[in-house]
């Protein structure tokens, strides 16, 4: 599915060149969940962004080869890379609130992916159900912007009337009339094929009331809901591989478990390949089949999960395993707030 060979990535900084990746080798097979684990700054996310050529301007791939289903994508054009991103490889970013566009609804953001990667399916659905492919109001101003425009117009109308210059208020009256007429004409617009596919994508990630969420903005959703929306976006283009870059960051333990179970369920249903990037060995143990341990831009050990946990070879891997909190006599004793000895 995806093979990375001798990947080297540098960043140009004011202090000189930083070698972020130094000869990374990975191979992810069809239908497997592969874990990439390491401490913060080890190069996990850079590996992900290098694979999709999403590096910032200061980053540069200086050597190596990235192969997707036999195709060397290191030499691919930007047009081909846009087809791959979302269409063949979906990505879940660390922080959904910073990855999602704050001024676009969930419907609009997932809709963009569907239009780019699933346009033929949209046309087919519209034809079968005899409904519009796209809704005319898809690009209309948001309710918040409409309210601001309305308040702005009313303020100027009031000002000009008070000054006795009512003629200058006519353009603002005309704008208000156009907004009201448009809203009246669109009040009974039928759902489009795009709307139905967005709702289907949200239902797939088990979001309650997908119709309401589709019309919501990212800040109106909880952290768990935002992450599910990110997963829906990553899957909307029918990708056969999913890169999850620390998908449980900043989520509580219960929501973390739900998100990881959702990824596992979708992987099993679709027989997808998953690259799970994390610093949590517990997540790796529960989710992955194979794992690579990363340290200072290099893969220091790579094996099945069972082999890593039962017979680690590298000293760094052993240190990570020894850092996992354990119960028993050596656990940290926490004083009882009532003054009694901890049990």
Cross-strand pairs, 134: none
Count of other CB atoms within 10 angstroms of residue 274? 24
Residue 295 CB-density burial (10 A; 0-12 exposed, 13-18 middle, 19+ buried): buried
Tens-digit pLDDT profile for residues 59-110: 999 999 999 888 888 888 888 888 888 888 999 888 888 889 888 889 889 9
What confidence score (pLDDT) does residue 237 get? 86
Tens-digit pLDDT profile for residues 221-244: 988 899 999 999 998 888 889 999
* Lowest model confidence (mean pLDDT) among 153-157, 251-255, 294-298: 153-157
What confidence score (pLDDT) does residue 146 get? 62
Structure token pair of residue 25: 């080798």
Section 27-34 average pLDDT: 92
The CATH homologous superfamily of the domain defined by 2-88+239-322: P-loop containing nucleotide triphosphate hydrolases (3.40.50.300)
What confidence score (pLDDT) does residue 332 get? 43
Please give the angle made by the CA atoms of 39, 45 and 51, to the nearest 5 degrees: 140
- Residue 10's nearest CA partner among 58, 64, 72, 52 is 58
Section 312-330 average pLDDT: 79
Tens-digit pLDDT profile for residues 132-153: 676 644 434 445 556 666 777 7
Domain-by-domain residue ranges, the chain?
2-88+239-322
d(CA 117, CA 97): 23
Tell the residue number behind the tokens 């969940």, with chain if given: 33
Please give the angle made by the CA atoms of 22, 11 and 29, to the nearest 5 degrees: 45
Residue 337 clears pLDDT 50, i.e. is over it: no
d(CA 227, CA 109): 14
* Mean pLDDT of the chain, nearest integer: 83
Tens-digit pLDDT profile for residues 278-293: 988 888 888 899 999 9
Tell the residue number behind the tokens 């900043």, with chain if given: 250
Tens-digit pLDDT profile for residues 45-59: 999 889 888 899 999
What confidence score (pLDDT) does residue 135 get? 60
Residue 114 or 182, more confident: 114
| Residues 245, 91 contacting (CB under 8 angstroms) | yes
Residue 340 or 96, more confident: 96
What confidence score (pLDDT) does residue 181 get? 64
């Amino acid at each position: 599915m995806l093979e990375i060979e001798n990947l080297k990535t540098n960043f140009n900084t004011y202090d000189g060149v930083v070698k972020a990746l130094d000869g990374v080798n990975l191979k992810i097979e069809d239908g497997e969940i592969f874990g990439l684990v390491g401490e913060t700054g080890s190069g996990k996310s850079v590996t992900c962004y290098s694979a999709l050529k999403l590096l910032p301007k200061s980053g540069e791939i200086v050597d190596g080869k990235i192969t997707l289903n036999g195709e060397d994508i290191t030499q691919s054009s930007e047009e081909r890379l846009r087809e791959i991103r979302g269409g063949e490889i979906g990505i879940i970013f660390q922080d959904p609130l910073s990855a999602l566009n704050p001024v676009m609804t969930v419907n609009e953001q997932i809709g963009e992916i569907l239009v780019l990667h699933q346009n033929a399916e949209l046309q087919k659905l519209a034809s079968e159900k005899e409904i519009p492919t796209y809704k005319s109001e898809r690009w209309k101003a948001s309710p918040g912007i409409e309210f601001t425009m309305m308040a702005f117009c009313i303020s100027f109308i009031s000002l000009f009337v008070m000054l006795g210059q009512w003629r200058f208020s006519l353009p603002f009256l005309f704008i208000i009339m156009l907004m009201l007429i448009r809203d009246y004409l669109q009040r009974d617009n039928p759902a489009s094929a795009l709307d139905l596919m967005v709702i289907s994508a949200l239902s797939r990630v088990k979001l309650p009331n997908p119709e309401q969420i589709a019309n919501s903005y990212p800040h109106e959703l909880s952290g768990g809901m935002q992450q599910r929306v990110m997963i829906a976006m990553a899957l909307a283009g029918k990708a056969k591989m999913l890169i999850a870059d620390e998908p449980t960051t900043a989520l509580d333990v219960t929501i973390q478990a739900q998100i990881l179970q959702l990824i596992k369920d979708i992987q099993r249903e679709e027989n997808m390949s998953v690259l799970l990037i994390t610093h949590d060995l517990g997540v790796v143990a529960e989710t992955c089949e194979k794992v690579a341990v990363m340290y200072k831009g290099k893969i220091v050990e790579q094996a099945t999960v069972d082999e890593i946990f039962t017979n680690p070879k590298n000293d760094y891997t052993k240190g990570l395993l020894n850092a996992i909190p354990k119960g028993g006599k050596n656990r940290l004793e926490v004083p009882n707030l009532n003054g009694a000895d901890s049990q």
